[in-house]
A and B are shown apart, each in its own frame.
Chain A
Amino acid sequence: MAWNRVAVVGAGLIRFGELFSQSYEQMAAGAFQAALGSVDHGIDPTLIDAVFLATQRGTLWGQEGIGGNTIPSALGLNGVACTRIENACPSGSDAFRIGAMAVASGVHDLVLVIGVEKMRDKSTEEGLLARAAGGHPIYNRGETAPVLFAPFATRHMHEFGTTREMLAAVAVKNHHNGSLDPYAHFQDEVTVEQVLATPLVCDPLRLLDCCPQTDGAAAVLLVPADRAHDYTDRPVYVAGFGVATDHPALHEKSSFVGLPATVKAAERAYAMAGVGPADIDVAEVHDCFTIAEILDIEDLGFVEKGMGGPATLAGETSLTGRLPVNPSGGLLSKGHPIGATGLAQLTELWWQLRGDAGPRQVELHSNFALQHNVGGRGTGVSVVNILTTNNGR
């Protein structure tokens, strides 16, 4: 594949949470400054020649449309080329992929990819839960976000004997990781018993099986690999990426124990990077619900289909396990401000690959890290990005 190598030279985010005191624009500016400040040798923001903005749902805070001009002026970059990317829950990771392509093509030299999402300016009932009345008036009626994943939990439990305790183990692990992440929305440990004692949100999923509604913003800076050393001595490179789709309605799923979009996106990313699941040292995956992480680690090839629950229970995905998953705390603990989520995951992996993750630092072997999102109607779109510090790939 003839594409110019791309490097990540800066990445940053703001502390996630219910950021009632910050506007959408203020959150964006915070993430932008964090990314600029992370560049080891400093950076001149006026050299940014393209911005890709990921925001999934402006209606959650009262904006019908968020155009490409929404953010540049708030960042002091008025006039810069800017395009908004919306691709459901992978919006941030897809914006990263598109930003990387803009650099890989040779068209742009310094690209800012920024994800910003206001999830909590409206009440829950008027915000995220209102989707119960959206979509098809019959076939989507009552389809709140957990309905997109809970049927997979029901079926996964039925086919593989996955238990509620195994689901809870995902939450326990990710909340532990989040307790070590100063940017996480939740920074408290939880126990299996606590998870199982929380109210049912969408049977079989309980409150702590679900990620919170979180405001947040994250940003990364991309340059051609051959210029990376102008900015840092420790660049991280884009090794590969993939995006894939699946039918948009849940009843069109061929199975309820895996997500074909994830499988296909991963195949494409692995092929582009020339690696396989065994080469991945650390992964940030889409754990919007506990069952989602179990599906993800199976679909990404980290464990056999059906073994996601036992592997989690056995600690294989913990910080010190065979393949640490969601060291940042994941969506469950760090939060899921949709457009920012993928970029925050990539920021975590940027830290991890550079050895900067502090108490969350995992052991590196092959120096490849994988980032994954899946979502949309019928969990029908997935993006996988693979980063590495290995030059030459």
Chain B
Amino acid sequence: MDVTLRAVGAAAPSLRVEAHDIASAWGARGRGSVAVCAADEDPLTLAWSAATDALAADGGDAPTGLWWGTTRPPFAEGPSWSYLAAALGVGPEGALFSGSPHAGVEALLAAWDAVAAGTVHTALVVASDALVPDLGSSFERRAGAGAVAVVIGTGHGPARLTTRTTRSRPALDRYRGDLESATRDTYDPRAIRQLVFLPEVLAAAADVAAPADATWSLPDPDGRLAATVAEHVGGTDGSAEVRAALGETGAAAALLGAIPGLRRPGTVVAVAHGGGRTTAVTIVVDGHVPGADDAIAALASGRSASYAEALRSRGQLVAGGESVAMGIPPGSAMFARATAELLAFEGARCVDCGVINTPPSVHPACTGCGGAKLEVIRLARGGEVHTFVVNETMPAPFVAPLPIVVVDLDDSARVMTQAVGDGSGVDIGTRVRMVLRRYAIERGAPVYGMKALPLVAGG
């Protein structure tokens, strides 16, 4: 049975840091730039964003399974998958893959198997990453972030997953030991390149017997492997433009690098490598894949940031002193009651008068008419700023300026949330899109909720 690829979405984090700025802090030189998560972004929020775009581009039957690959799940141990599934409204089938940059393609293979086996009709595959490199390493100047999502299923589609091959060889290159926070990139580059990278990747590439004009997505663990492999295999390295935009994106790299090839008919070969495993997947594109153009456009967004801001956002530069604890601990009953309604951005609509009350768990009665007949709905994701402030005065861990907006959503609900960014571009009447962001890391646990993303004029 053919498994088809129906739609794609992608997300890039907000910050771009010049490799030169990173390198010069350590007395070295660098070229290009890398994408880095803002303090309220992480692989889960990026995954949500890419998946939301892919689902919007698809418009077909909703997936009943979520397969997600990332080297940096927001909980090293915890409810990463169930949080993302709740935020997307996808499940209950699926799995989270991690452990190496090979994880993204492992998610694709597992989803492919589930669709082929009939476990699900439609699957959502997400690969996202935000690398946290060792400070001062050459790897740091290449370490990026990004996310990609594809909807796969049976039946007719603009692209087909056709062949796949996986190899395995126990070898150590990039790694992070248990209890370590940063990823080490301390292997002998010439030795591993000659003994592992080149032979494994070239063998996997040869196994799929791609046509000469194939578009390739190639792994680039050391900053030069992709270029060398591209010379050997011929065709086009479509992943080069994605790497130029984002840097090395870990588990997201193989599928992100395939997006340029999804924009036109042809054959795409996505090759993933990591943790000693190498996989090549062939995708035959019969027509333009919905979402591919928007996905490429999404990668171009982002604002310049200093190295210091990048370090702070990544949690590698931490202010001294005390910070204020969240009044409600993440492990408490309130979170158990409310996490699902926050992730799914739910309201309670009054059956009698239509007023939407947010959030449902604190509204047994309607604020409009006092009635008690309420139905839980997913709130609209678009809206307009009714009024706003920019808070300049807060204790750590808050960082000023912090815009807080009252938004009139397109379904008539009104919510007050934080806005993404520093408040510039926010005014009464500004259009916003509600996006999932990380509000805090509290007692080690990420806390997620919706924020208002101001849309630039015409956006």
Known: A132-B324, A138-B417, A249-B416. A202 touches B389 (CB 8 A): yes
Residue in contact with A137 in the complex, picked from B322, B328, B390, B414, CB distance below 8 Å: B328
* In contact, B358 and A138 (Cβ under 8 angstroms): no
A151 located at the interface, meaning its Cβ lies under 8 Å from any Cβ of chain B in the complex: yes
Stretch of A122-130, A231-239, A349-357 at the chain-chain interface:
A122-130
Say how far A102's CB is from chain B's closest CB, in angstroms: 31
B91 located at the interface, meaning its Cβ lies under 8 Å from any Cβ of chain A in the complex: no
Q: Number of contacting residues on A, CB 8 A?
A: 39
Residue in contact with A154 in the complex, picked from B387, B415, B440, B447, CB distance below 8 Å: B387
Say how far A136's CB is from chain B's closest CB, in angstroms: 8
Known: A151-B389, A155-B386, A256-B406. A135 touches B394 (CB 8 A): no
B325 located at the interface, meaning its Cβ lies under 8 Å from any Cβ of chain A in the complex: yes
A134 located at the interface, meaning its Cβ lies under 8 Å from any Cβ of chain B in the complex: yes
Q: Which residues from 402 to 459 on chain B have a C-beta closer than 8 Å to any C-beta of chain A?
A: 402, 404, 406, 414-418, 423, 428, 439-440, 442, 447, 449-450
CB neighbours (8 Å) of B75 from chain A are none
B335 located at the interface, meaning its Cβ lies under 8 Å from any Cβ of chain A in the complex: yes
* In contact, A200 and B392 (Cβ under 8 angstroms): yes
Say how far A132's CB is from chain B's closest CB, in angstroms: 5
Known: A126-B322, A247-B367, A251-B414. A132 touches B449 (CB 8 A): no
CB neighbours (8 Å) of B330 from chain A are 137
* In contact, B395 and A147 (Cβ under 8 angstroms): no
How far is B382's CA from A388's CA once the two chains are assembled, in angstroms?
53
* In contact, B389 and A147 (Cβ under 8 angstroms): yes
How far is B329's CA from A137's CA once the two chains are assembled, in angstroms?
9
Known: A125-B395, A132-B398. A142 touches B387 (CB 8 A): no
CB neighbours (8 Å) of B418 from chain A are 141-142
How far is B379's CA from A138's CA once the two chains are assembled, in angstroms?
15
Known: A132-B398, A151-B387. A201 touches B393 (CB 8 A): yes
B342 located at the interface, meaning its Cβ lies under 8 Å from any Cβ of chain A in the complex: yes
* In contact, A200 and B327 (Cβ under 8 angstroms): no
* In contact, B393 and A146 (Cβ under 8 angstroms): yes
* In contact, A251 and B415 (Cβ under 8 angstroms): yes
How far is B324's CA from A124's CA once the two chains are assembled, in angstroms?
11
A227 located at the interface, meaning its Cβ lies under 8 Å from any Cβ of chain B in the complex: no
* In contact, A155 and B395 (Cβ under 8 angstroms): no
* In contact, A202 and B390 (Cβ under 8 angstroms): yes
Say how far B233's CB is from chain A's closest CB, in angstroms: 48
CB neighbours (8 Å) of A204 from chain B are 389
How far is B322's CA from A199's CA once the two chains are assembled, in angstroms?
24
Known: A138-B417, A139-B416, A155-B387. A144 touches B449 (CB 8 A): no
Say how far B382's CB is from chain A's closest CB, in angstroms: 16
Residue in contact with B391 in the complex, picked from A136, A139, A146, A249, CB distance below 8 Å: A146
